[in-house]
Amino acid sequence: MPLTSLVCSITTSLTMGPARSTNTMRRRLLTWFEQNARDLPWRRTRDPYAIWISEVMLQQTQVETVKPYYRDFIRRFPTTRHLARARLDTVLKLWEGLGYYRRAHHLHQAARIIVRDLHGVLPRTRQGLMALPGVGRYTAGAIASIAWDQAEPVVDGNVTRVLCRVFVVQDDPRQRSTRERLWSIATDLIGAGRAGDLNQALMELGATLCLPRRPRCPECPLRALCKARGRGLQEELPMHARRRPLPCHTVAIGVIFKGGEVLIDKRRPDGLLGGLWEFPGGKRQGRESLEATLRREIREELGIRIKVRHPLMRVHHAYTHFRVRLHVFECDYVGGRPRCRACTAFRWVRPGQLRRYAFPVANQKIIAAIESQDRVPRERGVGTESPG
C-alpha cells in the first residue's frame, strides 16, 4: 500500500473509531432510557417554567425529597407570574426543609425579572438563561435541552460519575481542568436531536445504576464500553481528595418568653439561611459559659436583657460545610426595647403561631419541643440540612 494511502487509512480509522463509539453509546443510552426511565412528575411536562423549578430543586437534593416540594410549589405557583407576585416569606415557607434556601431567593428574583423584562417567558438560549439569578451552566443546559431539545450538555454529580468511569478519567473532578474535560466529553456526546433525553439518560444512569458505591455494572447499558469496568476501577472513580472533618460550632439559643409569647427574629437575606426566622442566639466565644454567651448574643442581636432560666434541649445538626451543637435555653424577657442590630425583623409570637413562619430544620425541632407538654431537657436526634 502506498504511504499516502496508509496514512489516509490510519487517519480514517482514528477519526471514525471514536465517532462510532460515541454513536453506539448515545444509541444504547437512549434505548435504555426509553425502557427504564422513572416516572417523575417533572417528566410529564415540557413547560420550561416547570422544568426550571424541578432542576433548581434537584440541585444537590435527592429525587424522593424533591417530589412533594415540587408538586406543592407548582400547585401554589403554576406560572412565572404567580411566583413573581408572591411574597418572599410565602416562597420560603413552601421551601421550608428543602435546604439550600438561596435557591428559593434566586427563583423569586428571577421570576420577577422574567415578568418585568421578558413578558413572563423564560429565555430560550443558554446565555439568556444564565443571565438569570441562580442559573448556572448545568441548569441552563438542562432547561434548554429538556424543554426545547437544544444541543446543550449537562454535567452534574451523577453525570460526572458516569463519565469518569466510562472514559476512565483519573483526576479529581473538583479541579477546574478536570471539570472542563468532562464538559467537553459531554458536549461530544450531544448529537442532533433528543438532547434532552440523552442528558436525562446520563443523569438517570448515575442515579440508578452507576452508583457511588457498588455500581450495578451487569445491568448497565454501557458496560461493554466502560473503560473503568474493563480495568476494574469502577469503584475507585471518580477520584476525590480526602475530605477534612467538618468543624463543629457550639451555639446558645434562647426561647425568650414575655407573657404567653415567644420572641423570634429574621435572618438577613444575604447570608446563611437568609430570610428565615429563628430563635435568637449565637456562637460561644472562647471559654465563656453558655449562659453568658446567650445573654451577650441577645444583647448584641436585639438590644434587650434576658434571664436565662434552664436548659430546654440540645440539637446536633449538620450543614454542608460545618456542624453545630445547639444548646437551647428557656428564658424570660427582662427589659429593653427590641431593635434589629443583626437581623431584619423581630416578632413576639404565640407558640401556636410559630408554624406559620419559615424556620430552618434545627429550629423546627425547637418548635416541636415548645409545643410538647414534656419540656424535660433531652438529647434530640441528629439532622442534616443544606444551607443558604
Q: What is the mean pLDDT of residues 80-94?
A: 97
pLDDT at 98: 94
Report how far residue 33's alpha carbon sits from residue 39's, in angstroms, rounded to the nearest whole number. 11
pLDDT at 87: 97
Report how far residue 58's alpha carbon sits from residue 45's, in angstroms, rounded to the nearest whole number. 16
Q: What is the mean pLDDT of residues 329-341?
A: 94
Mean pLDDT in the chain? 90
pLDDT at 18: 58
Which has the higher per-residue pLDDT, 3 or 288?
288
C-alpha 323, offset from chain centre: 17
232 pLDDT band (50/70/90 cuts)? very high
pLDDT, one tens digit per residue, over 109-140 is 999 999 999 999 999 999 999 999 999 999 99
Q: What is the mean pLDDT of residues 169-198?
A: 94
User: Which homologous superfamily does the CATH classification assign to the domain defined by 248-384?
Assistant: Nucleoside Triphosphate Pyrophosphohydrolase (3.90.79.10)
Q: Which three cell numbers stand for residue 31?
A: 434505548
- Which residue has 448545568 as its cell numbers? 138
pLDDT at 387: 59
Asked whether the predicted pLDDT for residue 154 surpasses 70, the reply is: yes
pLDDT at 19: 65
**What letter does residue 96 receive in the DSSP assignment?**
T
Quick check: helix, strand or coil at residue 132?
coil
pTM: 0.85
pLDDT at 386: 53
Asked whether the predicted pLDDT for residue 320 surpasses 70, the reply is: yes
Active site residue 55: yes
71 pLDDT band (50/70/90 cuts)? very high
Q: What is the mean pLDDT of residues 313-317?
A: 92
pLDDT at 321: 85
318 pLDDT band (50/70/90 cuts)? confident
CB neighbours of 59 closer than 8 A, spacing ≥ 6? Answer: 100, 103, 138, 139, 156
Task: Using a pLDDT cut of 90, give the percent of the chain over it.
Answer: 84
pLDDT at 109: 98
Asked whether the predicted pLDDT for residue 35 surpasses 50, the reply is: yes
11-231: what CATH class? Answer: mainly alpha
Q: What is the mean pLDDT of residues 76-94?
A: 98
Q: Which three cell numbers stand for residue 193?
A: 436531536
322 neighbors 247 (Cβ within 8 angstroms): yes
pLDDT at 1: 40
**Catalytic option among 55, 204, 291, 330:** 55
* Residue ranges per structural domain of the chain: 11-231, 248-384
pLDDT at 388: 58
Give the CA angle between residues 190, 241, 208 to the nearest 5°. Answer: 45
Task: Estimate the crossing angle of helix 137-148 against helix 48-57, to 10 degrees.
Answer: 140
pLDDT at 244: 80
Report how far residue 184's alpha carbon sits from residue 5's, in angstroms, rounded to the nearest whole number. 31
Asked whether the predicted pLDDT for residue 185 surpasses 70, the reply is: yes
Q: What is the mean pLDDT of residues 233-244?
A: 86
Which helix (H) or strand (E) element contains residue 335? strand 323-335
Q: What is the mean pLDDT of residues 189-195?
A: 88
361 neighbors 342 (Cβ within 8 angstroms): no
C-alpha 86, offset from chain centre: 22
301 pLDDT band (50/70/90 cuts)? very high
Tell me the CA distances in angstroms from 182 to 212, 280, 320, one per residue in order: 17, 44, 24
pLDDT at 245: 87
219 pLDDT band (50/70/90 cuts)? very high
Asked whether the predicted pLDDT for residue 297 surpasses 60, the reply is: yes
**Residue 245, preceding peptide bond in cis (omega within 30° of 0):** no
